[in-house]
A = this chain, B = another copy of it.
Amino acid sequence: MGCYNSIIVDAPAERVWSTLRDFHDMSWAPGVVERCEPVGEIPPTQIGARRILNGAFHETLVGLDDRARVLRYSIDDGPDAVSKDNVQGYIGEVRVFPVTEGDASFVVWSSSWESSGGGVAEFCSPIYQALLRSLRDAFA
Using a CB–CB distance below 8 Å, which chain A residues touch chain B?
1-2, 4-8, 21, 43, 45-48, 62-68, 70, 72, 74, 91, 97-102, 104, 106, 108, 112-116, 121, 129, 132-133, 136
Cβ distance A7 to chain B, nearest Cβ, rounded Å: 4
Q: Which of B2, B65, B104 contacts A63 (CB 8 A)?
A: B65
Q: Is the interface of A mostly helix, strand, loop or mixed?
A: strand
Q: How far is the CA of A97 from the CA of B99 in the complex (A)?
A: 12
Chain B residues contacting A5 (CB-CB under 8 Å) are 100-101
Query: How many identical subunits does the complex contain?
Result: 4
In the complex with contacts A1-B114, A63-B63, A115-B1, A101-B6 CB distance below 8 A = yes
Contact for A65 among B4, B45, B62, B106, CB less than 8 A: B62
Question: With A5-B101, A67-B91, A112-B112 given, can you name 5 additional A-B contacts, CB distance below 8 Å?
Answer: A1-B112, A6-B100, A47-B65, A65-B65, A99-B106
Interface pairs (25), CB distance under 8 Å: A1-B115, A1-B116, A2-B114, A4-B98, A5-B100, A6-B98, A6-B100, A6-B101, A7-B99, A7-B100, A7-B101, A8-B99, A43-B46, A45-B47, A46-B46, A46-B47, A62-B65, A63-B63, A63-B68, A63-B70, A67-B74, A97-B106, A100-B129, A101-B129, A106-B106
